[in-house]
Amino acid sequence: MKSVIPIQVESVQALNRTPGVDINAVGPLDGTSIYNVDLNSVEDKPWKKPGTDVTDYFNYGFNEYT
């Protein structure tokens, strides 16, 4: 004999929501869209400091020039 476990509507709705980061949102930098930021205008370039791993700032082999 199998027992049936009722599922509450609230539980199903909670499963359909995904908490966290909206991966489609455009991130801002100082109130400007990241697509409109000129990296040459950024004064602090922590990826150029000695001993820094550039992959902490750029992905897939990209750098500030690509």
Structural domain boundaries in the chain:
38-66
Give 48's pLDDT tier (boundaries 50, 70, 90): confident
pLDDT digits (tens, 9 = 90+) for 5-35: 665 655 555 666 667 778 888 888 888 888 8
Within the chain, residue ranges assigned H as helices are 9-16
| 29 Cβ contact partners less than 8 Å away, ≥ 6 residues apart | 37
